[in-house]
Structure 1
Amino acid sequence: MRVELCTEPGNPARPNEDFASVALPASGQGGALVVLDGVTPPEGDDGCVHDVPWFVARLGGALCELSVSRRDMTLAEILSAAIGRTADAHRTTCDLSHSRTPQATVVLARWDAETVEHLVLSDSALLVESPDGEVDVVLDRRLDTLPERVTRARSLVRSLPEGTPERAAAVQAYVAEVESLRNAEDGFFTAAADPSAAFRAITGSRARADVRTLAGLTDGATRWVEKLGEGDWTECFAYLRKAGPQGLVDRVRVLERERVAAGVRVGGKAHDDATAVWVEL
């Protein structure tokens, strides 16, 4: 089994809000892949005394443990239990009902001798390669289908000069629109403090014989495809196989710096925390 992992902050002066791990039981039977992308809250109160890295470490650790110890539970049930366990760790000190309470996107995969299961919640990605080299990408597309008012608000922000009062006001309006849709019926879902969000995740399974490799990517790494135009998902997977997770993240950083030097905006951040995990079964 080949396992490689890279996670790197977008800004070395700030803590990395991603989490990644591969759990391999001592029994040697199966394993699990966990990738989380902590959601950076806007400046201001979020109702919590803990930061996002604390949250993703707690949630990620629970997911690793439960994935390998509770084979009787589905991945949605495991995520639900992990969210509940993490919430219990700080509900007496923090306002977990706050819309900005720490939260994360989730990629979770688990395998044994017979089956490979997967779960994706929000905008991280799981790539699954078959023995014949076909690559299937598992995505939660709900962030791509938000109401038109959100896309209008985002476009307005990007059209205004940075550092101006008009842009600051537009950013506040855009953030308010997005927050109104977070973990809402007509919006999108993240792993925060409500265990029921786990049952909104994209889930599925396939025969173990139909899977050769798994790769989990946060949206800082999926920029290679989605923001930077280096190629499609199959080409991204081929690049991962050749260069490894560190090589993919390094290439993303080079492309980001080129865009910054050219005055081209790449999404909402010049650089984002980026994580890639490769598991060749």
Structure 2
Amino acid sequence: MEVTYVCRQASPQRPNDDFVLAAERFVIVLDGATGPAGVDSGCVHDVPWLVAHLATNLAGRLVREPQAALVDVLREGIAATMRDHAGQCDLTNRDSPSSTVAILRRNAETVDYIVLGDSAVVIEHGDGELLVAHDDRVEFLDEYSLAAVSRLRNTDEGFWIASNRPEAADEALAGSVPLREVTRAALMTDGITRLVERYGRSWLDLLDRLEKEGPGQLVADVRAEELAAPPGTYRGKLHDDVTAVFCRF
């Protein structure tokens, strides 16, 4: 599996809350959630700490147990990261630092994937068929006030994300595709998937652009679209951290 990627912060003035860890057989992509100003997370650590520790714990399990079910890998990765807090933080706090998770793994006979939160995995297989694992539940909340998002985080009525509840792994989108059928794949955080969700691109277009022009081109595409949109057109911040990964088989 040949892997190329770009992982870039929204602004040089702020840290990058996205994180990529790539190895011979797997790729992990995380998108940490920056807490709004004034919200008490109950945690002494920042989001870059969380994504670095979570990625390391996930990778360790993937290396030690290469055949483990990805749901189990994710559940244990969250639990191990909670232990890394070493009693310094209030892990009952609903606003504890959190992250999306997207993992792609190549085994001897299958390509396995899991997605928790609003990142995406796109796999082309067979005769050009696309499998898109993209958990967009956060786009359909009844309201987006700070109190509402806090109340709906990691609930069946809202959305699930990697934070302080290992059982969130059971709510992830997961599956496998026969390796012999897979030609190419991509992993993207929501800083890139907005090309589809907001700006009318197709998943196939993103996959083609990644292959032909590289991940940097998708970053350029999304920045151009963001700057061209009239102010206030879309909910949320103008620019986000961006991660785009292309995998060739």
Give the TM-score range, shorter chain: over 0.9
1:177 alignment partner in structure 2: 148
Partner of 1:125: 120
1:233 and 2:203 correspond:
yes
Partner Cα separation in structure 2 for residue 92 and residue 4 of structure 1: 37
User: What pairs with 1:103-252 in structure 2 (closer than 5 Å)?
Assistant: 103-146=98-141, 149-150=142-143, 154=144, 174-229=145-200, 231-252=201-222
Distance (Å, rounded) in 2 between the aligned partners of 1:235 and 1:264: 26
For 1:66 and 1:242, how far apart are their aligned partners in 2?
33
| 1:37 to 2:31 alignment | yes
Residue of structure 2 equivalent to 1:22: 22
The one-letter code matched in structure 1 to 2:72 is E
User: Which protein shows a greater Rg?
Assistant: 1
RMSD: 1.5
SS at match of 2:101: strand
Partners of 2:221 and 2:63 in 1: how far apart? 33
In the alignment, structure 1 segments of 5+ residues that lack a partner are: 25-30, 155-173
Give the residue type in structure 1 aligned to 2:183: R
Residue 64 of structure 2 aligns with which residue? 69
Partners of 2:136 and 2:80 lie apart in 1 by 27
Once residues 240 and 142 of structure 1 are traced to their aligned partners in structure 2, the CA distance between those partners, rounded to angstroms, is 26
* TM score, norm. by length of structure 2: 0.94
Contact 1:36-1:107 within 8 A present in 2 as well: yes
Moved more, 35-44 or 133-142: 133-142
Name structure 2 gaps, 5 residues minimum: none
User: Match for residue 10 of structure 1?
Assistant: 10
- For 2:17 and 2:36, locate their aligned partners in 1 and report how far apart those are by CA, in whole Å: 14
Deviation at 1:270, TM superposition (A): 0.6
Q: Distance in 1 between matches of 2:158 and 2:137?
A: 7
Give TM-score scaled by structure 1 length.
0.84
Is the 1:23–1:68 contact (alpha carbons within 8 Å) kept by the matching residues of 2? no
Matching residue's letter, 2:216: Q
One-letter amino acid matched to 1:276 = A
**Matches of 2:34 and 2:113 in 1, distance apart?**
25
Equivalent pair of 2:185/2:207 in contact (CA under 8 Å): no
Matched, 1:97 2:100: no
Would you say how many aligned residue pairs link Structure 1 and Structure 2? Answer: 248
Q: Output the CA distance in 2 between the equivalents of 1:183 and 1:192.
A: 9
State how far apart, in whole Å, the 1-side matches of 2:232 and 2:138 are.
23
